[in-house]
Structure 1
Amino acid sequence: MVARGSLVVARGHRSFPSLVRKSKQTQTYPLKREMNKEMIKNVIKLLTMVILIGSMVIWIMMPTSTYKKIWLKSMRAKLGESIYFGRPGVNLLVYMFPMILLAFLGSIYLHLKKQTTVNQLNSGVERKKRNKFGALKKPMLVKGLGIVTVTEVMFLTMFLALLLWSLANYFYFTFATITPQSIPTDGDNLWQARLNAIAVRLGLTGNICLGFLFYPVARGSSLLAAVGLTSESSIKYHIWLGNLVMTLLTSHGLCFCLYWISTNQVSQMLEWDRTGISHLAGEIALVAGLVMWTTTFPAIRRRYFEVFFYTHYLYMVFMLFFVFHVGISYALISFPGFYIFIVDRFLRFLQSRNNVKLVSARVLPCETVELNFSKNPMLMYSPTSILFVNIPSISKLQWHPFTITSSSKLEPKTLSVMIKCQGKWSTKLYHMLSSSDQIDHLAVSVEGPYGPASTDYLRHDTLVMVSGGSGITPFISIIRDLLYMSSTNTCKIPKMTLICAFKTSSDLSMLNLILPISTEIPSFVDIQIKAFVTREKESTCNMNIIKTLDFKPYVSDQPISPILGSNSWLWLATILSSSFMIFIIIIAIITRYHIYAIDQSSKKYTAAYKSLIYLLAISISVVSTSTVAMLCNKKNYYKEKDENDDAFSPLMIETSPDQLLSEVTNIHYGERPNLEKLLVGLNGSSIGVLVCGPRKMREEVANICSFGSAENLQFESISFTW
């Protein structure tokens, strides 16, 4: 009996360590996965740096004679004679492939980053790393550019240096090679020959700017998100590049017109060369570009937004005839950004085809409307994200961006936007909702949400948000998101202070939107609201008078869902890689068995037809892969799952939203906020200062937080003005 008992004990002692080892292995697996993810992310960063450095070397060397006579000649000798791609194959490999690969790597990186835990994002090492580069994000005020950071000034200087370097090389080559001895006696005069060469060089430099023009307007681009940019924050880059493109290309066209007039070759303006440069196509592209450029000036854009919006669709005419003008081989140099934009644009088109489920609306006395949509719980977005909204009953073509005020974590089934009357479109919407109680349904389509891939507000000890008027909207989403995090007790929440300036007391009703009415809020959150009413000495409006409308959605209306599902970055990487491979295969087959066969004969293949084939191949590859990706995800994001509902439990606290707001809000009438007094001297090693409002307010806060001022103030401007 003793022996049996001891045997049982011995077995027990042998089995217990095995359970411990199994438990350790179970705990080790997530750690190994995280380590593998970090290793893959580091490899992606290394590859990205190598590709970027290589691309920079190519752009720098492109205007030099070394590139033309040695590098390009060698590449054309090896690739340019290919029976599958011909001369366009060189630019496909050198310019287009690296940028598509970068976008692919960026998507993979963001997919891995999305799975990183909150604790890792807010570790001490990560905070030190971000604070180390905090000086590069310090704001600077530059006349003509507005508020820019030190990093933006550095990159802008580098880009302008590239343009000046290109122009200097091109012009030096022009004046060094075109001399009185090099011109035939029966040819052009010296100044005419040089004018002709200068016109060509201006066009070549303009093409450099065109190569970067479309990257900032690809809203869902992985390249923007990977470097921490959003579509709204990068619009200014598109504006800068657009002005440079049109300045250089307009100078290019005017120089050629002057040259043709001086040499009595006005008929050249109507020439469409069968295999070379098409002058007529270039003039059509330039006219389309000038129409777009004219309507972008603030005086026209802000007063006649519809004109600006509709004329900007001429970008399709501009790019089509630009390709016809220079030929597809040279156009591929500037095509990578346009290719990424086309992928993004078609995905937006697919999402906008369906009407979304609008469940309710709140009409405030300050001519402001809050729209509440049904949302799929799997749709996650960061604070300060925007949603593009289209209401066909107001305008079938107009799309307007609005800041999302809800939190995808705090409100898993609802997405809200706030719309302030500031134009014809929003005014029509306000009057439609405020003047009638009988609206049962309102057809709405959306694109988005679009926003930062991640936010790092938790790295601050204190978060100060400064707003003017409707600029309060992005801060509502930030506050709601931090309120949810505070309830989970997973990380330390920074102390929050909201400084908001309003013109009238009726605007104070916007404060009622800070906290959602459907979810109770924790009472232990450290938040203060300092509201300033600038044009009134006392309250003249009951800000609690809010009209609520409930809608009855149609069966066909769908909740707002991610077009590519919860793994959207992984699907985007699949679309980019597969569409580019399909495009390459189509071009290789057509070139080998059709274009190459004709070029080998005495009859050369028409340049316009070749360009059209390339454009059709790109369109087919993008449309097919994007559609397949959308259909694969359709069954997942068009239905709400029970497990998602269980994952989000409401916050059960005694304090109601109205009670909490009244306790933390201080209202000051008849005065403006003294921002310098409110910001300077705040205690804390890292104080995040966010501002959204009129330009003068943003510039005032930027001056307070500028380089050389208080080191603990970390500035960020949120602007939604086009």
Structure 2
Amino acid sequence: MGKLVAETMEIGLIITAIVVIVFDVTMWCYTSTIRGYQFTTFVGARIGDILGMFVLYSMPVIVLTIIATAYLAIKQQYPSDLRASWFRRFCRLLWTRPLVVNEFLGVLNGFDLLVILSTIFVVLWMVLNELLPQLRSLHGNPMAGLLKWKPIGVVLGRVAVLPISLLLIPVSRSSPILRAIDIPFEQAVKYHIWLGHLTMAMLLGHVSIFIGIFAYKHHMVKLVTWPPTGVSYLAGLIAFVAGSLMWITALPLIRRRFFNAFYYTHQLYILFFAFLVYHVGVTTAGYYIGGVFLYLLDRFFRVHQSRKKMLISSAKILSNDVVELKIPKLPSMEHSALSFIFINIPSISPLEWHPFSVASSPLDETAITLYVKPFGITSWTQHLHTLVTRSTKKNGSGCPFAQKFSMEGPYGHESNFFLRYKTLLLVAGGIGITPFLAMISDILHRYEAAHTYLPQHVHFTWIVPTSADLHILQQLAPTSIFPQLQSSNLTIVVDVYVTRDNAIRPEFEPSLSVARNSADVEPSLVETMSIRHNLHMACLILGTVLISITLFAILQHHALKRQKNGFGEKIPSWIQASLFFCSLAIGIGGMGGFLITCWSKTFRYKRNSSASVVSNETEFQLQENVLYQPHQFPGCDDLELGARTLCHQSYTTLRKGRPILSEVLDAVLERYTNENVGVLASGPESLQRDVANMCRNHSSNNYATAQILNYHSVSFRL
């Protein structure tokens, strides 16, 4: 009965979300028409201009967020069957069928094209509806050549509000909207990039036209004026300069060579949005403040989450210089197998945060494992490698590994979508193996727990430069997780292609490792609040929104509407904007801080209650597993566990050169016919494009067949 009610509520929430989306799109299209302008004026006259714009344009985004949070809470309580209905299978095709593959756009699926085309349609609709009537009114005017430019500049500025309203939603890491449709942050970043280019291109045209008009009329002094009321050109110019710096440093050529410059420059978003409000006024800010508010709340939550300093329990350097980090965690910590976390180590850099894929299963109740490949001589990852190397030398004298760090996350896919495929084809390059280790480990744990509807065939193709990279495979022993693997219906096949040296199974050197004493493990257990606490997240969003609106409404009605200055005029618009910022700060910082504090205390109480009932045997296993270090021996067998690691020849075949992906795919499809195959790629962008192109060509050539290739990218790359 509960399952039926949950499914009914899910359908109701989905229908409500569709209605809200249709209403929001309709309002954006309608606002550019004469009747739309009359309607917004009518609403503003009834409830106030500022509140009217907020309700019509920003509130739908917040309502959609609350709906998504409720949907996630139901899905968390009543997980859906992996055997999806035809409607869900059709929706998944939008996400998993590559339609466009090229170097400029990357890999685009049906959902990506839907987002691009719908955004372009609404923008063009708004531009044409606002611009054409004004241009017709200038027809026959001898000064039309000059006068035409001003309405074009005005329209570009007005329509730019649409992409601005959506700009920060894709980069809100805890966004319930993205989690509800299972688009992780690392894949949603591309929407932010596209919207950023569109926004700055329109603002560039807007600013250029007005600077040209002012220069022609010799009114350049207006650019540095800030009138008490009306439009402040100086504020707009400051916002544009801040946006331009972010835009330039975000270009791929600059971002990849000078990432720190890109990262620090992007903190100017505060100036951009603040002076944008000073430029256009609080009323116009009602068009886009919803997405900005949710992003600021996300940042506040992340700051609170990352305040706690934790300790890395152990670190190890493998033969290929990859650094393995183990972070102890509580069994109650929830994340998916394809999760990633951001970590900051103050001893390396107090400001730099770096994302790393989790290489361990969420069913591993003892620790989170990360693998870090050092790149560059002066990079953050190289500094981490140096830090661990120095610690291993000191460890001989009894010095513990006591590096403190902060963590954000875990983020990533909301669901373990790979479990719905009977056959998995995994293709990785280099350190891109990390998420696939977590996947294989998770599948093994689920087989051991006797779960149903699990993958039966895992074919893993890994491309590495040297055979020393195989040392990572030695860290996973399948039969130590699932002892009945050989007699089960699960098969794991690993093909390793070595591109530089000879494909000879190496004798690995002993790992350089350093670990904390087992008595010190308990204080460092990860105990961060999770974005998966959906009801708490809903209360946080609702509480902060209501307090911010209420506080500003009080200021608006009792201060701005009634108070007059000495000249009998309204209070200047910059004061109104400043009071608006104060309302947001108190709503997010005050009410948000109060709710998060209550949330944190509740979390600690539940953690302490659950910790008090843990048996001594479980505690002993936790400490032993956290500090476990596999030993090297011929054949890659593990003497401690008495089990073969994934590096063993019974799982892994070494090959020389690069694979021909089409032949790899044909071999898998020939062996496992009439099955939907999940194809996952992790590694360099060129590798992902090759795999996506392979899936697209197969789908195009075999459209009528029952066998479908479902492509997924699991790489994180800014």
TM over 0.5: yes
Give secondary structure in 1 for the equivalent of 2:561. helix
For the pair 1:331 / 2:280, whether they are aligned, the reply is: no
Correspondence list, 1:157-236, <5 A? 157-181=117-141, 189-236=143-190
1:430 maps to which residue?
Answer: 385
**Distance between the aligned counterparts of 2:327 and 2:449, measured in 1?**
25
1:74 maps to which residue?
Answer: 42
**Distance between the aligned counterparts of 2:479 and 2:618, measured in 1?**
16
Code of the residue aligned with 2:446 in structure 1: it is M
- Shift in CA distance, 162/429, structure 1 to aligned 2, threshold 3 Å: same
Q: Deviations over 1:123-163 (max 9, x none)?
A: 4xx15444334543310234421101022112211111111
2:439 maps to which residue?
Answer: 478
1:141 pairs, out of 100, 122, 132, with 100
336-345 vs 166-175, which moves further: 166-175
**Distance between the aligned counterparts of 2:559 and 2:495, measured in 1?**
71
2:695 maps to which residue?
Answer: 705
For the pair 1:582 / 2:582, whether they are aligned, the reply is: no
- Shift in CA distance, 36/44, structure 1 to aligned 2, threshold 3 Å: same
- Shift in CA distance, 133/556, structure 1 to aligned 2, threshold 3 Å: closer
40-49 vs 538-547, which moves further: 538-547
709-718 vs 250-259, which moves further: 709-718
1:488 pairs, out of 425, 431, 449, with 449
1:99, distance to aligned residue in structure 2 (A): 1.3
1:406 maps to which residue?
Answer: 360
**Distance between the aligned counterparts of 2:521 and 2:612, measured in 1?**
23
**Contact 1:476/1:513 (8 A) holds in 2:** no
1:267, distance to aligned residue in structure 2 (A): 0.6
- Shift in CA distance, 33/532, structure 1 to aligned 2, threshold 3 Å: same
**Contact 1:520/1:655 (8 A) holds in 2:** no
Code of the residue aligned with 1:673 in structure 2: it is P
**Contact 2:418/2:678 (8 A) holds in 1:** yes
Give secondary structure in 1 for the equivalent of 2:648. helix
For the pair 1:602 / 2:568, whether they are aligned, the reply is: yes
Correspondence list, 1:235-314, <5 A? 235-314=189-268
Percent identity between the aligned chains? Answer: 27
**Distance between the aligned counterparts of 1:557 and 1:669, measured in 2?**
45
Code of the residue aligned with 1:155 in structure 2: it is V
- Shift in CA distance, 340/385, structure 1 to aligned 2, threshold 3 Å: same
**Distance between the aligned counterparts of 1:132 and 1:544, measured in 2?**
50
For the pair 1:417 / 2:370, whether they are aligned, the reply is: yes
Give secondary structure in 2 for the equivalent of 1:609. helix
1:321, distance to aligned residue in structure 2 (A): 0.6
- Shift in CA distance, 246/621, structure 1 to aligned 2, threshold 3 Å: same
2:587 maps to which residue?
Answer: 621
For the pair 1:667 / 2:627, whether they are aligned, the reply is: no
**Contact 2:448/2:482 (8 A) holds in 1:** no
1:115 pairs, out of 48, 53, 77, with 77
Give secondary structure in 2 for the equivalent of 1:708. helix
1:235, distance to aligned residue in structure 2 (A): 0.5
Code of the residue aligned with 1:353 in structure 2: it is R
**Contact 1:562/1:568 (8 A) holds in 2:** no
Code of the residue aligned with 2:255 in structure 1: it is R
Give secondary structure in 2 for the equivalent of 1:132. helix
- Shift in CA distance, 77/635, structure 1 to aligned 2, threshold 3 Å: closer
**Contact 2:504/2:654 (8 A) holds in 1:** no
- Shift in CA distance, 142/704, structure 1 to aligned 2, threshold 3 Å: closer
2:50 maps to which residue?
Answer: 88
1:422, distance to aligned residue in structure 2 (A): 2.2
1:443, distance to aligned residue in structure 2 (A): 1.3
Code of the residue aligned with 2:382 in structure 1: it is T
For the pair 1:551 / 2:516, whether they are aligned, the reply is: yes
1:132 maps to which residue?
Answer: 90
- Shift in CA distance, 384/556, structure 1 to aligned 2, threshold 3 Å: closer
Code of the residue aligned with 1:560 in structure 2: it is V
1:440, distance to aligned residue in structure 2 (A): 2.8
How many equivalent residue pairs? 672
1:465 pairs, out of 423, 426, 434, with 426
Give secondary structure in 2 for the equivalent of 1:285. helix
1:44 maps to which residue?
Answer: 13
**Distance between the aligned counterparts of 1:500 and 1:699, measured in 2?**
16
**Contact 2:447/2:482 (8 A) holds in 1:** no
2:632 maps to which residue?
Answer: none
Q: Deviations over 1:281-311 (max 9, x none)?
A: 0100111111111111112111111111111
- Shift in CA distance, 108/536, structure 1 to aligned 2, threshold 3 Å: same
1:663, distance to aligned residue in structure 2 (A): 4.7
Code of the residue aligned with 1:283 in structure 2: it is L
Correspondence list, 1:330-479, <5 A? 330-409=284-363, 411-423=364-376, 424-437=379-392, 438=394, 440-479=401-440
Give secondary structure in 2 for the equivalent of 1:548. strand
- Shift in CA distance, 127/627, structure 1 to aligned 2, threshold 3 Å: same
**Distance between the aligned counterparts of 1:581 and 1:659, measured in 2?**
55
2:635 maps to which residue?
Answer: none
533-542 vs 583-592, which moves further: 533-542
1:35, distance to aligned residue in structure 2 (A): 2.0
Give secondary structure in 2 for the equivalent of 1:63. coil
**Distance between the aligned counterparts of 2:243 and 2:646, measured in 1?**
53
**Contact 2:214/2:220 (8 A) holds in 1:** yes
**Distance between the aligned counterparts of 1:63 and 1:36, measured in 2?**
41
1:540, distance to aligned residue in structure 2 (A): 8.2
1:656, distance to aligned residue in structure 2 (A): 4.3
Give secondary structure in 1 for the equivalent of 2:310. coil
Give secondary structure in 1 for the equivalent of 2:563. helix
Code of the residue aligned with 1:634 in structure 2: it is S
1:59 pairs, out of 23, 28, 34, with 28
**Contact 2:444/2:478 (8 A) holds in 1:** no
**Distance between the aligned counterparts of 1:270 and 1:631, measured in 2?**
44
5+ residue gaps, structure 2:
395-399, 626-637
**Contact 1:469/1:502 (8 A) holds in 2:** yes
1:608, distance to aligned residue in structure 2 (A): 1.1
1:539, distance to aligned residue in structure 2 (A): 3.5
- Shift in CA distance, 557/217, structure 1 to aligned 2, threshold 3 Å: farther
**Distance between the aligned counterparts of 1:554 and 1:249, measured in 2?**
55
Give secondary structure in 1 for the equivalent of 2:230. coil
547-556 vs 328-337, which moves further: 547-556
- Shift in CA distance, 265/644, structure 1 to aligned 2, threshold 3 Å: farther
Give secondary structure in 2 for the equivalent of 1:447. strand
1:544, distance to aligned residue in structure 2 (A): 5.6
- Shift in CA distance, 532/111, structure 1 to aligned 2, threshold 3 Å: same
1:470, distance to aligned residue in structure 2 (A): 0.8
1:208, distance to aligned residue in structure 2 (A): 1.0
- Shift in CA distance, 267/45, structure 1 to aligned 2, threshold 3 Å: same
**Distance between the aligned counterparts of 1:154 and 1:644, measured in 2?**
51
**Distance between the aligned counterparts of 1:678 and 1:130, measured in 2?**
29
2:113 maps to which residue?
Answer: 153
1:400, distance to aligned residue in structure 2 (A): 0.7
CA root-mean-square deviation: 2.6
**Distance between the aligned counterparts of 1:305 and 1:248, measured in 2?**
26
For the pair 1:536 / 2:501, whether they are aligned, the reply is: yes
**Contact 2:427/2:462 (8 A) holds in 1:** yes
Give secondary structure in 2 for the equivalent of 1:308. helix
2:274 pairs, out of 299, 320, 341, with 320
1:445, distance to aligned residue in structure 2 (A): 0.6
- Shift in CA distance, 554/591, structure 1 to aligned 2, threshold 3 Å: farther
